[in-house]
């Protein structure tokens, strides 16, 4: 399945805020509808683009979700991002005219195809679009930064906690439940993304479950104690505006023998 449907209309797209569109005059809106060349539907596992492909368009995710990954040539893949509806895919190709990773659908998904020359042309005329596009790129960079911080400074438990909280917030932003959701990716992908082994992901989730932070049933996740999770995540928890707090906890007890650091933090909080 790889069909491209012609229908397209940005002006009434539900993604508004999240995607490229923004508040514009009626006249500008007409222009905006020229942005999207087509829609494209992808089945689970299908690739939207591959590393090395000629760059030509960016894609706004209309429904579904994706992972971005880079091949390590020993066959293994390193996951570098997870994206969901409203997110923009393909900006990794802008810098070099070739995509720098593979974009793979995690479930059946639909994207809007936005030819980049067209985006540049229209954003030269429609100031609001120009600014919005820059903001989208800017936010993507900040997201990358946040992940770098996580990978650079956090233990396994903190990584997983921050990961769950980020997912939670992103689902909420899209109108879904913040406390209950289905993971679209498997443990291996999560581990790859977080820089830990899939076994470690599993262990940490089990520990969280035991501590009543989250209910875990395979891919189904229910967050039971968000403040507790944020506590475990420490500084990396939710840094949408600027920075949060880790600090205070760093002083806490040196963690007992067979219990994970995560657990000790939690018990200190009182689940």
Partner DNA sequence: CGGCGTCTTGACAAAATTCAACGCCTGTGG
Partner DNA sequence: CCACAGGCGTTGAATTTTGTCAAGACGCCG
Q: What does the alpha-carbon distance between residue 18 and residue 10 come to, in Å, rounded to a whole number?
A: 12
Q: Is 246 in the site for a second copy (CB under 8 A)?
A: yes
Residue 51 interacting with a second copy (CB under 8 A): yes
- Per CB under 8 A, does 166 bind a second copy? no
Candidates 6, 175, 241, 254; binder of DNA (CB under 7 A) is 254
- The residue within the footprint of a second copy, chosen from 73, 175, 218, 270 (CB under 8 A), is 73
User: Which of 141, 255, 268, 271 lies at the binding interface for DNA (CB under 7 A)?
Assistant: 255
Interacting stretch for DNA, rule CB under 7 A, among 32-40, 107-115, 134-142, 196-204?
Answer: 196-204
Nearest to 58, CA basis, from 24, 97, 12: 97
CA distance 262 to 208: 8
Binding to DNA, residues 166-195 (CB under 7 A): 186-188, 195
Candidates 197, 236, 196, 193; CA nearest to 80 is 193
Q: Name every residue whose Cβ is closer than 8 Å to that of residue 122 and which is 6 or more positions away in sequence.
A: 31, 32, 34, 35, 129
Q: Closest separation between CB of residue 147 and a second copy, Å?
A: 6
- Contact between 147 and a second copy by CB under 8 A: the answer reads yes
Two tokens, residue 103: 């974009």
Is residue 127 near a second copy by the rule CB under 8 A?
yes
């Amino acid at each position: 399945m790889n069909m491209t449907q012609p229908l397209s209309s940005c002006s009434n797209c539900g993604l508004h805020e999240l995607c490229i569109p923004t508040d514009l005059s009626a006249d500008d809106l007409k222009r905006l509808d020229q942005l999207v060349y087509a829609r494209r539907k992808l089945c689970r596992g299908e690739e939207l683009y591959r590393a090395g492909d000629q760059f030509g368009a960016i894609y706004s995710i209309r429904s579904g979700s994706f992972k971005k990954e880079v091949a390590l040539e020993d066959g293994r893949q390193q996951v570098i991002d997870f994206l969901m509806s409203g997110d923009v895919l393909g900006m990794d190709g802008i810098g070099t005219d070739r995509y720098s990773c593979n974009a793979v659908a995690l479930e059946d998904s639909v994207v809007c195809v936005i030819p980049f020359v067209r985006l540049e042309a229209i954003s030269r005329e429609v100031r609001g679009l120009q600014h919005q596009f820059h903001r989208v790129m800017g936010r993507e960079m900040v997201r990358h930064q946040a992940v770098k911080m996580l990978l650079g400074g956090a233990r396994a438990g903190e990584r997983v906690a921050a990961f769950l909280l980020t997912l939670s917030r992103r689902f909420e932003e899209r109108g879904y439940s913040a406390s209950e959701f289905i993971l679209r990716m498997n443990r291996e992908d999560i581990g790859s993304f977080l820089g830990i082994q899939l076994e470690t992901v599993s262990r940490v989730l089990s520990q969280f479950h035991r501590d009543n932070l989250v209910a875990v049933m395979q891919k189904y996740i229910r967050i039971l104690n968000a403040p507790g999770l944020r506590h475990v995540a420490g500084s990396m928890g939710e840094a949408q505006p600027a920075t949060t707090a880790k600090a205070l906890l760093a002083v806490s007890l040196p963690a007992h023998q067979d219990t994970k650091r995560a657990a000790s933090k939690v018990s200190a909080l009182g689940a």
